[in-house]
């Protein structure tokens, strides 16, 4: 038998269109599929239980896919710097294959693994549509503003999808099974969505079949529920993209096919020809085609924040624009606790925080509203919010989360300055006009008439069990502007 090679799964929990796995398959050697629970992650106080639970479900599905191909997932617990060299020795493996990640932690770990292995570590670009370093200004500097990044991004050819490998190691003698949360001494009461590549593909196809056509109109709908296939706002693919149960190419080329279907004369620049007019011609900004393009634009945001983290890793420690590290953030533990508990007295903020605690997810509009509230109305450091989101989100991603928080706080790459402050009442009135979202997530407000659903404190008899606003918005807005102006 040929000497095997190891594929080390990390945030690429799929067999379909997996760049490193495909490259491993091209060698013709049998592939040993390995996942390692690294104590540096699993035992870290920052570990997110919802994300760990979702990861375990994803591993279960991956193992099942492998079993259908006569193999199985090899699972180990320990430091990859020692586990991988041991596996190489034990199986006589000639190389290890994996897909690159952009966090400083992952880059450091991979360099140390490579030094310890004794055989080559082949790593591939897979996590983003275009890898960091490939979308640069003429003078080879990274872009720091989204719009020019996107214009350049559109001119660069996107990789095609790869074939799914067939030739796996048969799993002889392997008895490890995918653990459950209790094996780590942890419990979680939150129901988690189905995981794995089959479910991810099902969700993608459902979204592409129709909801994507209405994306521009529906994306900001707060009451759309990812657990209800009939109420679509956005795709709910973020958890699957986060852990690689779906590749970004599956999403992109799926959207491309949809676009072709909708358009007799699709813009050729989507295939990457050096042409930049893709987003210039706007027949009807609300057309189905424009909706598809708006959705692809979100995939470009995902690339953008990945590239920002790669080129500017300091964003994980402080503001993208260092001047804003001097903002006089408030140390207000009671206000922070009220925000986390969804007890601020602003219904749309509180509904979103309840949804986060119940589902480990919330729509983009809700994320922007609660982030603006924490950083502007409460003037609490965005890093508190970033940390809380990472603890609870099943799609919690260091690059996108950091980018979203710094965008909301006004300390990041955004060309828009800090004075964008969302009004939590008018945001509720605009994006949850009949109060369905608030009523779903805050039982105490279920019977409040629509007229007062975003201002229940103004009722003659406000509902019991729900607090009055913990801060007055107009005063808070001025306080935030003053604090930012002092350093900006």
Is 167 a binding residue for ligand FAD by CB under 6 A? The answer is no
Task: Please say if 8 is a catalytic residue.
Answer: no
3-class DSSP assignment, residue 283: coil
393 binds ligand FAD (CB under 6 A): yes
Residue of 8, 339, 361, 405 with catalytic role = 405
Judged by CB under 6 A, the number of residues near ligand FAD is: 29
Contact 164, 17 (CB under 8 A): yes
Tell me the C-alpha distance between 146 and 414, whole Å. Answer: 7
* Residue 18 binds ligand FAD (CB under 6 A): no
Q: How many CB atoms lie within 10 A of CB 76?
A: 17
Spatial separation of the C-alpha atoms in residues 337 and 348, rounded to whole Å: 17
Region of residue 468 (phi > 0: left; psi between -120 and 50: alpha; otherwise: beta): beta
Of 208, 354, 371, 202, give the one whose Cα is nearest residue 288. Answer: 208
Interface with ligand FAD, residue 397, by CB under 6 A:
yes
Of 302, 321, 340, 388, which lies in the binding site for ligand FAD, with binding defined by CB under 6 A?
302
Interacting residue with ligand FAD among 184, 256, 279, 301 (CB under 6 A): 301
- Mask of contacts with ligand FAD, 235-254, x by CB under 6 A? xxxx--xx------------
Of 44 and 450, CB closest to ligand FAD = 44
Query: Which residues is 439 bridged to in the sheet?
Result: none
DSSP 8-state symbol, 31: E
Query: Could you identify the residue written with the tokens 């590749």?
Result: 247
- Beta-sheet pairing, 5-9 with 31-37: parallel
Quick one: 441 exposed, middle or buried, by C-beta within 10 A (0-12, 13-18, 19+)? buried
User: Which residue of the set 382, 384, 386, 407 is catalytic?
Assistant: 382
Write down the catalytic residue from 8, 169, 270, 329.
Answer: 329
Answer yes or no: 298 catalytic: yes
Per CB under 6 A, the list member of 84, 129, 353, 371 interacting with ligand FAD is: 371
H or E stretch including 80?
helix 80-91
Query: Does residue 364 have an active-site annotation?
Result: yes
Binding mask 279-298 for ligand FAD (x = CB under 6 A): -------------------x
| 439 vs 467: CA distance, rounded Å | 15
The residue within the footprint of ligand FAD, chosen from 110, 126, 335, 395 (CB under 6 A), is 395
CA angle 313-316-322, nearest 5°?
Answer: 80
Is 367 among the residues that bind ligand FAD (CB under 6 A)? yes
Name the residue among 99, 242, 251 with its Cα closest to residue 161: 251
Contact predicate 378/335, CB 8 Å: yes
Q: Which residues inside 201-230 make contact with ligand FAD, applying CB under 6 A?
A: 219
Confirm whether 270 is a catalytic residue: no
Select 219 or 258, whichever has its Cβ closest to ligand FAD: 219
Check binding of 410 to ligand FAD (CB under 6 A): no
Q: Which of 301, 423, 429, 444 is catalytic?
A: 301
Q: Is 381 in the site for ligand FAD (CB under 6 A)?
A: no
List C-alpha distances in Å: 68 to 36, 168, 330: 21, 11, 55
Contact window for ligand FAD (CB under 6 A) among 72-80, 91-99, 195-203, 232-240: 232-240
Query: Can you tell me the distance from the alpha carbon of 299 to that of 374, in angstroms, rounded to the nearest whole number?
Result: 26
Among 114, 174, 199, 298, the active-site one is: 298
Least Å from the CB of residue 472 to ligand FAD: 23
Catalytic residue numbers?
Answer: 298, 301, 329, 364, 382, 405
Site for ligand FAD, rule CB under 6 A: 219, 234-238, 241-242, 298-299, 301-302, 305, 363-364, 367-368, 371, 389, 393, 395-397, 400-401, 403-405, 408
């Amino acid at each position: 038998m040929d000497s095997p090679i190891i594929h080390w799964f990390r945030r690429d929990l799929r067999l379909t269109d997996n760049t490193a796995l495909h490259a491993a398959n091209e060698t013709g050697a049998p592939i040993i599929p390995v996942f390692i629970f690294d104590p540096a992650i699993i035992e870290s106080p920052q570990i997110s239980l919802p994300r760990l639970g979702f990861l375990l479900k994803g591993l279960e599905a991956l193992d099942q896919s492998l079993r259908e191909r006569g193999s199985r997932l090899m699972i180990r617990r320990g430091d990859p710097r020692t586990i991988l060299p041991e596996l190489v020795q034990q199986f006589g493996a000639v190389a290890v294959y994996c897909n690159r990640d952009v966090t400083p932690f992952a880059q450091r770990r991979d360099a140390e693994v490579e030094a310890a292995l004794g055989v080559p570590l082949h790593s591939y670009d897979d996590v983003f549509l275009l890898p960091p370093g490939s979308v640069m200004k003429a003078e080879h500097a990274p872009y720091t503003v989204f719009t020019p990044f996107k214009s350049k991004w559109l001119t660069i050819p996107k990789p095609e999808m790869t074939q799914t490998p067939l030739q796996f190691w048969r799993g002889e003698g392997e008895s490890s099974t995918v653990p459950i949360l209790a094996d780590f001494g942890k419990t979680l009461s939150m129901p988690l969505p189905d995981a794995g590549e089959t479910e991810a593909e099902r969700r993608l196809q459902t979204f592409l079949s129709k909801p994507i056509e209405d994306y521009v109109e529906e994306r900001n709908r707060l009451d759309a529920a990812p657990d209800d296939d009939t109420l679509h706002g956005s795709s709910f693919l973020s958890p699957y993209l986060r852990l690689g149960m779906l590749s970004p190419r599956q999403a992109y080329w799926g959207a491309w096919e949809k676009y072709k279907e909708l358009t007799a004369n699709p813009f050729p620049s989507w295939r990457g020809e050096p042409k930049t007019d893709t987003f210039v011609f706007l027949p009807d900004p609300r057309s189905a085609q424009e909706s598809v393009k708006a959705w692809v634009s979100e995939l470009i945001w995902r690339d953008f924040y990945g590239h920002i983290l790669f080129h500017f890793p300091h964003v994980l420690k402080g503001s993208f624009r260092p001047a804003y590290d001097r903002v006089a953030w408030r140390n207000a533990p009671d206000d922070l606790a009220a925000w986390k508990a969804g007890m601020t007295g602003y219904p749309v903020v509180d509904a979103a925080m309840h949804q986060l605690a119940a589902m480990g997810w919330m729509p983009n509009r809700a994320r922007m509203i609660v982030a603006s509230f924490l950083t502007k109305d409460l003037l609490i450091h965005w890093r508190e919010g970033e940390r809380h989101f990472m603890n609870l989100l099943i799609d919690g991603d260091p690059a996108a989360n950091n980018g979203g928080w710094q965008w909301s706080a006004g300390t990041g790459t955004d060309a828009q300055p800090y004075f964008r402050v969302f009004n939590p009442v008018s945001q509720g009135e605009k994006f949850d006009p009949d109060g369905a979202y608030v009523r779903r997530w805050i039982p105490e407000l279920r019977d409040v008439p629509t007229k007062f659903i975003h201002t229940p404190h103004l009722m003659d008899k406000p509902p019991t069990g729900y607090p009055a606003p913990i801060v007055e918005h107009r005063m808070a807005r001025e306080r935030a502007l003053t604090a930012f102006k002092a350093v900006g």
